[in-house]
Amino acid sequence: EIVLTQSPATLSLSPGERATLSCRASQIISSRLAWYQQKSGQAPRLLIYDVSNRATDIPARFSGSGSGTDFTLTISSLEPEDFAVYYCQQSSKWPWTFGQGTKVEIK
């Protein structure tokens, strides 16, 4: 099983700041990596797929990058609605797995 390790566990930032979230895989994976946002009490929402493609209606301030085992989600300038938990997910190898999540909280 591919283990995805996200860091940091919690990111404390102010609106307007840049957020950089990391996801490291336990083995080299293909480009089948996604990022999801989950707000409290809500279902997850797909943000990024295939490392760097934004899903429908996702603002341009969200971007993804990386390759091999190291991947990054960047939020260029945090909006109030961006404070949430973010998960990476791989579909390169069964079973598909998620990281444990990074909480982006208001500083």
Partner 1 sequence: EVQLVESGGGLVQPGGSLRLSCTVSGFTFSKYWMSWGRQAPGKGLEWVANIKEDGSTKNYVDSVEGRLTISRDNDKNSLYLQMNSLRAEDTAVYYCAVSRIAYYFDLWGRGTLVTVSS
Structure-block tokens of residue 72: 């990054």
| Residue 77 half-sphere exposure toward CB, CA atoms < 13 A | 3
Give the contact letters, 49-88, x = binds to partner 1 (CB under 8 A), - = no. Answer: x-----xx------------------------------x-
CB of 28 to partner 1, least distance (A): 17
Which token pair is 62? Answer: 């969200």
Of the pair 19, 47, the CB lying nearest partner 1 is at 47
Helix (H, G, I), strand (E, B) or coil at 36: strand
The least CB distance from residue 73 to partner 1, in Å, is 15
